[in-house]
Structure 1
Amino acid sequence: MLQNSAQPLSASLPRGANQGVLSAAASGLDRFILGHGGDLDRVFGHAGIDPEQLRHPTLSLALPNYCQVLEEAARQTGCDNFGLRYGQQFTPQALGLLGYVGLCSGTLEEALVNFAEAFPLHQHDTLIALQDQGECYRFDYQVRHAAIGQCRQDAELTLGMALNLVRHALGPHWAPREVHFEHARPADWQAHREAFQAPVHFGQACNSLLIPKRDLAGVAMPGADPMLLMLVKDTLRQLGEAPAQPDLLGRAQAAVRDHLHLGEPNLERIACALQIGEATLQRRLREHGLSFSQLVEQVRQALALRHLREQSLSISELAPLLGYSETSAFSRAFRRWFGVSPRQWRSV
């Protein structure tokens, strides 16, 4: 199993220091949003992404912002299956370096292995694995970031990208044996079955494609190029290497999350938990474009959306878990974040 657990930094990392996701993963996103009637300023503004970054495929986007822009695009365009549709038209070439890792491989089987091995360099805080299941390979994908509460659109997009890599060699009508998604079954779930031409199961442990091994046997990649493959892998490796500094942002997010049940988190308590000075914590957060209060809000928002989506807690039960002494305080904060009350959000 291949797994990556490095923590992300800000969306404005310098070249050669990708710790989020390379912006090639959003190739053509602006055009796709416009094509579905979306407002680019609203979508990108809400997600905190500078559209200019999308013009440079080797720049890094923070993974929470990337997942959020896809969710926001789905909401504002009214296209509930936005990630699925975006993934259907996403060619391996458009994925940049990661796509060419697959395209330049000698065989389709090697392409899947190389794609899975290189993926952690393209995107951090992600489990990616090609599991041997006997008659099939299971291609697993799962975002593992403490501050990300919603990632349905990203999951559907990513499995669509993997599907298109296989179809590049086997043709547009190839279908996996099964498709699994973590999220609950959406209203228009039949569109997923049509897109993958396979049984699709929701509410599963991981996002997965089940790929029969017999479909891969002896299949050569049309554009195999061992020299270019070596160069692309080397470039990805350089971009994916993290700078020599502690993963403070991820640790700070985890510390805030662990302390929320005690009430309103304060700078002194979190700095003590991280065993650093308060001034140092503030300075390091500023390097990522965050204040301490913004960090707390970021964690609260992600947890609130996750629990509201799961519907396992009432609003009054959720408020103290997020560090609010009164339900009304949580409701006011939620309305400020998203423009609706928690009950209204849950009822949509």
Structure 2
Amino acid sequence: MPPLTKYFEIASSPVPVMRTSILMLIINALRDAGMNPRELLARNGIDPDIEKESYSVVEMERYLNLFEKAATLNDNKALGFELGLACTPGQIGPLGLLFQALPTLRKAVLAFGNYLFAVQSHSSLTLNSDNDIAEIIYSLDVPQNWPCQQDVELTLALLINLIRERLGSQWLPIQVDFMHAPDKKAAMIRRRIGCPIFYRQPHNRILFDEQYLDDRRTMTDPDLIRILERHVCDLIGEEYAAQPFISTVMLAIRRCILAGNPSLASVARALYTSPRTLQRLLAREGTTFRSMLDTSRKELADTFEQRDQLNRDTLAYRIGYSDGTSLSRSRKRWKK
């Protein structure tokens, strides 16, 4: 077994990065199609020997570009979607195995979102539920001109497959939304998933019946769950896993902002606690949820404004405001 990269703090990497375990899905697909993946890896600035170390990392921009080129070379624009539906929990690594080991789907999805940065940085996955409908939202905090379609379709298809592994192959979502535009494969994706698909939506998300969230598995192995969680923490890095409580909350708030739901309730769910308990713990640290949310929004606003040059209304939406006027009021307060 290759050594674990214990002290690689993937979540705080200034450059978006991915674990090689996801890249291996693409490499194997190219080989199955009779192609030489080493040439494509080299042309995209990726070490051709990277596949020998499943715990190493690659810059996300290179991974995304490689993914789109692989789909084109393979003459298969549905490559990401098909890889996601065929992916097994073990191919994802300890995070996929943990998803299957936890006693309820709710805990599985929350853990997947909480530990996602063990696999990739600059991304978030959140779970929300309201009016008997649950939604899983996946988002990438990367420049808008980066090609994300293959990765997004892989991720949502992968999640659907993981849920079917738990609930049975007949399980169907209510609806799936993509932020990107439809193409010729849209009808095929609709048939394979078995539910309505909508494009050019505000979020990449899966909607399904909330009743499935708390169905308990008849048999779980607490020892296995502890081992898998320890393994995931090793991948994150012990220094990061043991970071102060405030830093953990700040990261959860940031992920919820990027997923479009920066509410106290959604952040508390991401931290496996109740809103009241979270507020009490923050008060003990001498701060409030509102103050931390405001700080996170300011940091994200500065980042997006410098990097993506967004207009006021678009920037406001990206950081969780309903309109540009609300953002303008906050900016005046930040300057004081």
TM interval, short-chain normalised: 0.5 to 0.7
Per-residue CA distance 1:254-273 (angstroms, 9 max, x = gap): 86766xxxxxxxxxxxxxxx
Matched residue, 1:302: none
Per-residue CA distance 1:77-104 (angstroms, 9 max, x = gap): 1111110111121111210021022122
Matched residue, 1:16: 7
Within 2, Cα distance between the matches of 1:125 and 1:253? 13
Deviation at 1:57, TM superposition (A): 2.6
Name the aligned partner's letter for residue 235 of structure 2.
L
1:128 aligns to 2:125 (yes or no): yes
Deviation at 1:242, TM superposition (A): 9.3
Deviation at 1:210, TM superposition (A): 0.7
Name the aligned partner's letter for residue 51 of structure 2.
L
CA contact (8 A) 2:21 2:55 kept: yes
CA contact (8 A) 1:106 1:226 kept: no
Deviation at 1:186, TM superposition (A): 1.1
Q: 19, 33, 37: which is aligned to 1:40?
A: 37
Deviation at 1:134, TM superposition (A): 2.6
Q: 217, 229, 232: which is aligned to 1:236?
A: 232
Within 2, Cα distance between the matches of 1:53 and 1:77? 21
More off after superposition, 152-161 vs 185-194? 185-194
Give the TM-score normalised by structure 2: 0.64
Matched residue, 2:333: none
Name the aligned partner's letter for residue 184 of structure 2.
A
Change (3 A) 1:57 1:162: same
Within 1, Cα distance between the matches of 2:142 and 2:153? 17
Q: What is the root-mean-square deviation in Å for CA atoms of aligned residues?
A: 2.8
Deviation at 1:127, TM superposition (A): 2.4
More off after superposition, 102-111 vs 36-45? 36-45
CA contact (8 A) 1:122 1:236 kept: no
Q: Gaps spanning 5+ residues in structure 2: where?
A: 241-301, 310-336
Q: 140, 147, 157: which is aligned to 1:150?
A: 147
Name the aligned partner's letter for residue 235 of structure 1.
H
State how 1:137-216 maps to structure 2 within 5 Å: 137-146=134-143, 149-216=146-213
Deviation at 1:226, TM superposition (A): 2.0
Within 2, Cα distance between the matches of 1:157 and 1:70? 10
Q: 222, 228, 232: which is aligned to 1:226?
A: 222
Within 1, Cα distance between the matches of 2:131 and 2:218? 23
Deviation at 1:232, TM superposition (A): 2.2
Within 2, Cα distance between the matches of 1:61 and 1:241? 17
Within 1, Cα distance between the matches of 2:170 and 2:55? 31
CA contact (8 A) 1:140 1:207 kept: yes
Name the aligned partner's letter for residue 160 of structure 1.
A
SS at match of 2:115: helix
Matched residue, 2:299: none
Q: 76, 86, 90: which is aligned to 1:89?
A: 86
SS at match of 2:205: strand
Per-residue CA distance 1:143-192 (angstroms, 9 max, x = gap): 11238611100000001111111011111221111001111001121111
Deviation at 1:252, TM superposition (A): 10
Within 2, Cα distance between the matches of 1:103 and 1:176? 18
Within 1, Cα distance between the matches of 2:26 and 2:126? 26
Q: In the comparison of the two structures, how many residue pairs are matched?
A: 239
Within 1, Cα distance between the matches of 2:185 and 2:235? 38
Aligned residues with identical type, % of pairs? 22
Change (3 A) 1:134 1:84: same
Deviation at 1:225, TM superposition (A): 2.5
Matched residue, 2:255: none
Within 1, Cα distance between the matches of 2:112 and 2:52? 23
Give the TM-score normalised by structure 1: 0.62
CA contact (8 A) 2:133 2:209 kept: yes
Deviation at 1:46, TM superposition (A): 3.0
